[in-house]
Amino acid sequence: MLDDFMTRAALAGVGVACAAAPLGSFVVWRRMAYFGDATSHAAILGVALSLALQMSIFAGAMAVALGMALTVTMLAGRGYGMDTLLGVLAHSALAFGLVAVSFLSGVRIDLMAYLFGDILAVSRGDLLIIWGGALLVIGLIAWRWSALLTATLSEELAYASGIDPKREQLILTLSLAVTVAVAIKVVGALLIAAMLIIPAAAARPLARTPEQMALAAALTGGASAVIGMQAAFTLDTPAGPTIVCVAAILFALTSLLRPFLKS
């Protein structure tokens, strides 16, 4: 079954959706869209370092994404607005990554594949990494679900409940870095944030509880990946952007139906 590249692509898309769905819900609830953007843009610098040091792309992308997320967390509240800080770091990391790639002599790299993904080229080894990362993220979020929800609702309530909001933020940061690292092969660095945010936003009108929203986001993301991949194969369009387009269409549909769904 895994000899079929379409089957591998479908499994990869669903794996990324499963990793991104619960995390994307917290990104939406905490209004952290730019945070995801900054972390995903930093992954290109991780790709350049991985190629230069001849190490795993997954390891390099995760290390730099985690470093970026931790940097943002440490610099927050030091005189700059969060949107300004994230904008500077996101675009700087992307620029340094692209410049670093240009210095790699003797290394052939399909930059478009890392910017926009190449889901149809996913291998069996990639599937193991994607699903391993997805299971790790799901496990972390499930383990800290109640604490994460409390910290998201109110830091004061979290402290009163004996929960450290900074620790929960660190868990989200680690989960985000893992998701970025496993998703870069599927949708690329420029579209990872879209797969975090759009399925979760599309799922919001469908859910009445946080758990329902995370599940609906996973289903929406998985459907977007499978339908988008099939559409890209049929229409001969880029797979990553097509997947995001399908997710955007689903978001538009649930937004239009929101008054009826909430009645």
CATH code of the domain containing 114: 1.10.3470.10
The reply to whether 202 falls in a domain is no
pLDDT for the residue 111: 67
Please report, rounded to a whole number, the percentage of residues in the chain having pLDDT higher than 90. Answer: 11
Per-residue pLDDT reduced to its tens digit, 113-167: 777 777 878 888 888 888 998 899 999 898 989 999 898 888 888 888 888 888 8
Q: What is the pLDDT, as a whole number, of residue 181?
A: 82
User: How does residue 249 score in pLDDT terms, banded at 50, 70 and 90?
Assistant: very high
In a domain, 227, yes or no: no
Q: What is the mean pLDDT of residues 12-32?
A: 86
Containing structural domain, residue 104: 5-194
Is 223 part of a structural domain of the chain?
no
Is residue 224 in a domain?
Answer: no
| HSE-CB for 116 with a 13 A CA cutoff | 11
**In the structure encoding, which two tokens stand for residue 153, read together?**
């609702």
**30 within some domain:** yes
Residue 49 forms part of a structural domain: yes
Q: Give the range among 93-97, 141-145, 258-262 with minimum mean pLDDT.
A: 258-262
Residue 166 counted as domain residue: yes
pLDDT band for position 198 (50/70/90)?
Answer: very high
Q: What are phi and psi of 208, to 5 degrees?
A: -115, -10
Q: Which amino acid is at 20?
A: A
Give how far the C-alpha of residue 108 lies from the chain's centroid of Cα atoms, to the nearest Å: 26
Question: Into how many domains does the chain fold?
Answer: 1
Per-residue pLDDT averaged across 29-52, rounded? Answer: 78
**Domain annotation covers residue 62:** yes
